[in-house]
Amino acid sequence: MTEKIISAISEALSKVSDPELHRPITDLGMVDRVNFESGKVHLRILLTISGCPMKDRLQQDISKAVSVIDEVRSVEIEFGVMNDEQRDNVKKLLRGGREKFIPFAQPDSLTRVWGISSGKGGVGKSSVTVNLAAALSSRGFKVGVLDADVYGHSIPRLLGIEGQRPTAIDQTFIPVEVRGIKVVSIEMFKPDRADPVAYRGPLLHRVLEQLLSDAYWGDLDFLLLDLPPGTGDIAISLGQLIPASEIIVVTTPQVAASEVAERAGRIAHQLKQHIIGVIENMSSYFDSELKREISLFGSGGGEETARRLSTLVGAEVPLVGKIPFDSELREGGDVGEPIIWRRPDSRAAQEFLSIIDQLAPRKKSLLGVRLDVTPSV
């Protein structure tokens, strides 16, 4: 009888997932001991690190799962910490038995990687990045955001997670998660948020490589990289590390800005990356008092950028959206609430959703598809 109950307890524990790793605790080797006597369950659970921030959440989930068994009257949980060998086994499991690697660069990766770029700063690229991520998440996709803007990192503030740090398991770390979006930023690894980052050349390449390979991203549908403005080292490194990454160019309505924005697309084209679209930010908005559209920053910049890039690559690079100038976009950024969360019915939010509906579906291809064709004799 006791063996049957212990089997039921083990089955219940297999349905409990680690809140950060999103894997069953039984698969991760976290269940060290299970005892049952006179209606009392005693469990010894091994945490991946000492001081695990999700310990209380894990305790609640385990107690809830085991308490539903009829014979169980109480649950006592003792926590321990994994040794080096056990942690190594966890890391091997997360990496599929392979050594450290960039999962998104593998031939079997199903994750689409979007690099959000711009020719210069101040066009709202980071704001566009977090709202695209929020829009993808709202459509049911699993999304990650990597703040690759090493010198001007702002993603944590825009998502309301300043001061939060990833959980580290030796050299592997777990991205911070907010509303289902997994986030990594260089800011999270600085002793003080105000400290400047003074990296150059090869070191920048290494930093990007580590952020991509050392993080346990899990299964993502999309990974968005907020790239530094311009055509520097990080943009080149992305093309080298993840050749299949796709590029979205953010610009403003000023026609004069299109020449600068084109440069971001030109470097992507040289690296043989696919430029999937142009987004015009801070576009015209409707003034309810004047009853007409107001263009604070001119018009035509998005169309001109798309035209220039289409000519460059010899194929259509569409203008996929125009994000209207909206003070709530700025206010949302200040308080860590993308407009997709703050005002999902707003014109700006709807434009972001429209962009996602255009770009998220995969283009159909016959590459690798077995065709049921019988050759004629």
Q: In this structure, what CATH number is given to the domain that contains residue 16? A: 3.30.300.130
Q: 275, 290, 340, 253: which is closest to 115 by C-alpha?
A: 275
Same domain, 110 and 181: yes
Instruction: Answer yes or no: is pLDDT of 364 > 70.
Output: no
- Whether 319 maps to a domain, the answer reads yes
3-state class (DSSP) for residue 34: strand
Instruction: Answer yes or no: is pLDDT of 170 > 70.
Output: yes
217 burial via Cβ count (<10 Å: 0-12, 13-18, 19+): buried
Same domain, 57 and 119: no
Q: Which of 94, 125, 143 is the last residue of a domain?
A: 94
CA dist 231 and 152 (Å) reads 15
Same domain, 114 and 78: no
Please report which confidence band the pLDDT of residue 367 belongs to, taking 50, 70 and 90 as the band edges: very low
Mean pLDDT in residue range 30-37: 92
Supply the pLDDT for residue 98: 63
Beta-strand ranges (E) seen in 196-291 are: 222-226, 246-251, 274-283, 285-287
What is the CATH classification number for the domain harbouring 320?
3.40.50.300
Residue 262: half-sphere exposure toward Cβ, Cα within 13 Å: 18
Supply the pLDDT for residue 1: 64
Same domain, 180 and 326: yes
- Whether 14 maps to a domain, the answer reads yes
When the pLDDT of each residue in the chain is averaged and rounded to a whole number, the result is 88
- Whether 369 maps to a domain, the answer reads no
Same domain, 353 and 216: yes
- Whether 59 maps to a domain, the answer reads yes
Percent of the chain with pLDDT over 90: 54
Same domain, 69 and 136: no
3-state class (DSSP) for residue 61: helix
Same domain, 239 and 284: yes
Same domain, 57 and 179: no
CA dist 21 and 18 (Å) reads 5
Mean pLDDT in residue range 297-302: 86
Same domain, 118 and 67: no
- Whether 60 maps to a domain, the answer reads yes
Mean pLDDT in residue range 9-19: 92
Same domain, 231 and 255: yes
Supply the pLDDT for residue 13: 93
Mean pLDDT in residue range 158-185: 90
Counted domains in the chain: 2
Supply the pLDDT for residue 369: 40
Q: Which of 94, 118, 149 is the last residue of a domain?
A: 94
Q: 351, 340, 357: which is closest to 302 by C-alpha?
A: 351
- Whether 365 maps to a domain, the answer reads no
Supply the pLDDT for residue 91: 79
- Hey, what's the torsion of the CAs at 346, 178, 141, 22, to 10 degrees? -160
- Whether 189 maps to a domain, the answer reads yes
Task: Encode pLDDT of 77-134 as tens digits.
Answer: 999 999 988 888 887 787 776 667 888 998 889 999 999 999 888 899 999 999 999 9
Please report which confidence band the pLDDT of residue 376 belongs to, taking 50, 70 and 90 as the band edges: low
For 291, the domain range is: 106-359
Q: 282, 310, 311: which is closest to 298 by C-alpha?
A: 282
Q: 249, 227, 221: which is closest to 317 by C-alpha?
A: 249
Q: Which of 40, 73, 94 is the last residue of a domain?
A: 94
Instruction: Answer yes or no: is pLDDT of 329 > 70.
Output: yes
Same domain, 316 and 199: yes
- Whether 125 maps to a domain, the answer reads yes
The kind and range of the H/E element at 349 are helix 347-359
Same domain, 247 and 306: yes
- Hey, which residues does 185 pair with through a beta bridge? 147
CA dist 40 and 77 (Å) reads 11
